[in-house]
Amino acid sequence: MEDLLKVLKEFSKEDIERLESFDRQYRALEKLHKEIKNPPDFLKLVVINALMSYQLQMKGEKYWETFSEFFSEKPEIERFEEFIKTYNKRFLNAKLKRLDKVIKCVEKLFLNHPLIDLGKDLTILVKELSECLNQKTDSKTVVFAAKMFMYGYRIAFGENPKKLEEIAIPIDSRLSKISSDKNFWKELSEKSGIPQIRLDAVLWIPMGLEESFLKELPEELKLKVGRIIELVREKNSSRNSLRK
């Protein structure tokens, strides 16, 4: 952890925000937002899709780009069943059943809480969705929905929601290569001073960055990201050697 912590402390808030803007998922939302001028409609679609983003049949970045293209044509919640059947059909029957519940929960959230309230306290979104969906507040899909709402909110309003530091990290297969221990991430966040929901981007994005995207980064940030990639590779290499 110490080597990773040392590099993380070099990242400023501006570095993190800039890196997030290079996330292909963030860019997919930017494109969608250009077609949907109404923030509640835009953010409802984002949160619903985040809550359905599991057991995907393609990389997460590609899935969100596909989502953006699909709903840019006609941004209607009623089209989600068609989207899931076409692009997210692993365990399809279970997902369609969940989709009905997710849509009701998201509609209820936005009905009961204006965007200004969610912007002042993002934990409201986490608590409300976890209760409605009967999931833990640190469950992967719920906190991932908070992360994507954060992206969407910043795109729509030019600023981040508040109380990010109280939200857990969405541990997926990519991040679990570093650690699947939630306490590890909590401790790393506390020591680095980076909220878990944003720590996710600092590590998740570099692990999936394509060479073309890496070249677009400012030189200083590119060096920091390069160190992150190197550390993760070393960690994975040592873990694989132990398994042999």
CATH number at residue 66: 1.10.340.30
Q: In the predicted model, is pLDDT for residue 242 greater than 50?
A: no
pLDDT at 201: 80
Distance, in Å, from the CA atom of 157 to the CA atom of 150, rounded to the nearest integer, reads 10
Q: Are 174 and 208 in contact (CB under 8 A)?
A: yes
58: which 2 tokens? 């393609």
Is there a domain that residue 76 lies in? yes
Reported pTM: 0.92
Is there a domain that residue 21 lies in? yes
pLDDT at 230: 85
Distance, in Å, from the CA atom of 186 to the CA atom of 171, rounded to the nearest integer, reads 12
How many domains does the chain divide into? 1
Range of the domain at 59: 2-239
CB-based burial label for 82 (10 Å; 0-12, 13-18, 19+): exposed
Active site members: 140, 172
- Angle, helix 219-243 to helix 13-21, in steps of 10 degrees: 80
Distance, in Å, from the CA atom of 36 to the CA atom of 152, rounded to the nearest integer, reads 12
Distance, in Å, from the CA atom of 82 to the CA atom of 76, rounded to the nearest integer, reads 11
Is there a domain that residue 159 lies in? yes
How sure is the predictor about 227, in pLDDT bands with cuts at 50, 70 and 90? confident
Distance, in Å, from the CA atom of 202 to the CA atom of 197, rounded to the nearest integer, reads 10
Is there a domain that residue 14 lies in? yes
- Angle, helix 24-35 to helix 13-21, in steps of 10 degrees: 70
Is there a domain that residue 244 lies in? no
**Residue whose C-alpha is closest to residue 41's, from 75, 81, 80, 67:** 75
Is there a domain that residue 24 lies in? yes
pLDDT at 244: 47
Is there a domain that residue 202 lies in? yes
Tell me the mean pLDDT in the region 36-56. Answer: 96
pLDDT at 238: 60
How sure is the predictor about 216, in pLDDT bands with cuts at 50, 70 and 90? confident
Distance, in Å, from the CA atom of 124 to the CA atom of 141, rounded to the nearest integer, reads 15
Average pLDDT taken over every residue of the chain: 90
Q: From residue 186, give the alpha-carbon distance in Å to each of 2, 130, 196.
A: 14, 19, 7
Q: Please give the radius of gyration of the chain, using alpha carbons only, rounded to the nearest integer.
A: 18
Least confidently predicted of 72-86, 133-147, 176-190, 226-240: 226-240
